[in-house]
Structure 1
């Protein structure tokens, strides 16, 4: 399949909310993915497979949890192109591999290097929240979709409905009361408004009303320290914590682990999580 480069300029990302580098990809893949992302990847891949797309573009593929599910579930002849802005995340995804060939490509969702009408479906698992200009990213998705194609993505609901993220944020606010780290509430859990999503989709050229569905699941870990390490050391929250002093990351991880033990006990831990699945059709 030829994927012509549209020659669009890259977009500068202004802060560390999109920084997935250094030790983050490995911690993210080994701890965050099974704890919170795997159930939603299976759900999203099942929805996508039901649409029977022949050419699929994945945005913000990260370490490949959705990519692997798509490789398992899509028809044998379907083509999968998985992209991410962060080369270290793609490298981690490629190292883990997939059950079938996948094209991996470093790409900015707001300036996609593909020609018009190149794909039947564009997918994104918990990546839209990180796009600085969401309407622009949606416009790029609309551009590369064929008429009648589909954009499918999910976003986290409010942090109050996601126990582990809520508990980490509360523990860090107690540890750093003068300047509480707010990454989790601001970015991963900061784009849950249906009205805001609909408006951005319209500005991106998706004129038909999107379909929304709220999906609940359970996040699980074998011990209280696992979510503490996962959130503090395996997300861009790490950069914020490291800037606070040479021992801040360790202190933050310990404080969150203590909070999880107090809330859930010393054994396996589990908590509710909630997200929205959005499906938007490109007008024919």
Structure 2
């Protein structure tokens, strides 16, 4: 897939304000509870995005715990850094998960919320995580389950097919492309991880209004980059169609089912 996956320009704002509460906050709470149970003294977050999970980390860890948050996209890490200036105990860095700029054995836990799907070489990224983890450290991440299990996002792809029956944009498929637990387990084992636990976790996402959800799905993802390059004049019509469909399915203030895989792996 050669879809543009850059979270740049105005995308971080729309991603955080429109999609954040609906798609990412429910799993940020779930992931923070998992991290709290692990009780690490040091943690590295990969692909932190706009900081939906990051903001919980200082609250759930002991005072003085080391927290590092990273993202590959400069616009996303800048947004997170400025939005969460009050998080004095968090160090923000721009970093590539496949070539982490950190010493071996630096942290007890590495976490990533909905970032692994975008790694071009997942085994390389897992090897880097393994290297940076201390002995018996934990890699914890979540990825979306299949597209059909996340109907609000599946609706976007359906509408893309309506507007572009040929050469349909594939970004939604990319987001929901890493859900096979056997593949995930194999990739982690290739990197050296053991004691791999994979669980399917349902949640419910809420949006204050259908219009905000539609705006976020288009203007808050790299799908916007693709549409801007290909058919910018169609973007308002696509957003209106998506808002109308969401209103018909869920009502003006709607709740939508979400489903993800939460993966926990231990360094030998």
Q: TM-score, normalised by structure 2?
A: 0.96
Structure 2 SS opposite 1:249:
helix
1:111 equivalent to 2:103? Answer: no
Q: Alignment partner for residue 94 of structure 1, among 64, 69, 81?
A: 81
In structure 2, distance between residues paired with 1:99 and 1:89:
16
Give the Å deviation of 1:95: 1.4
* Structure-1 residue corresponding to 2:9: 22
Q: Alignment partner for residue 241 of structure 1, among 227, 239, 252?
A: 227
Contact 2:95 2:101 in 1 (8 A): yes
1:124 equivalent to 2:112? Answer: yes
Give the Å deviation of 1:244: 1.9
Contact 2:3 2:170 in 1 (8 A): no
1:156 equivalent to 2:144? Answer: yes
* Structure-2 residue corresponding to 1:66: 53
Q: Alignment partner for residue 166 of structure 2, among 170, 178, 183?
A: 178
Give the Å deviation of 1:271: 1.1
In structure 1, distance between residues paired with 2:232 and 2:256:
31
Deviations 1:60-119 (A, max 9, x none): 000001110112211112110000001111111111114442100100000000011111
- Compared CA separation, residues 244 and 137, structure 1 to 2 (3 A): same
Structure 1 SS opposite 2:155:
helix
Q: Alignment partner for residue 169 of structure 1, among 157, 171, 174?
A: 157
In structure 2, distance between residues paired with 1:257 and 1:193:
31
Q: TM-score, normalised by structure 1?
A: 0.91
Give the Å deviation of 1:259: 1.6
C-alpha root-mean-square deviation of aligned residues, in Å? 1.4
* Higher alpha-carbon deviation: 239-248 or 65-74: 239-248
1:215 equivalent to 2:201? Answer: yes
- Compared CA separation, residues 163 and 132, structure 1 to 2 (3 A): same
* Structure-2 residue corresponding to 1:76: 63
* Higher alpha-carbon deviation: 49-58 or 94-103: 94-103
In structure 2, distance between residues paired with 1:48 and 1:27:
27
Contact 1:198 1:209 in 2 (8 A): no
Deviations 1:144-187 (A, max 9, x none): 001100000000000111111011111221121122222112x2
Structure 2 SS opposite 1:180:
coil
Give the Å deviation of 1:29: 0.9
Superposed structure 1 runs of 4+ greater than 3 Å apart: 14-17
In structure 2, distance between residues paired with 1:239 and 1:15:
12
Which segments of 5 or more consecutive residues in structure 1 lack a partner in the other structure? Answer: 1-13
- Paired residues, number: 267
Alignment of 1:39-58 (within 5 A): 39-58=26-45
Which segments of 5 or more consecutive residues in structure 2 lack a partner in the other structure? Answer: none
Contact 1:17 1:130 in 2 (8 A): no
- Compared CA separation, residues 17 and 48, structure 1 to 2 (3 A): farther
* Higher alpha-carbon deviation: 30-39 or 16-25: 16-25
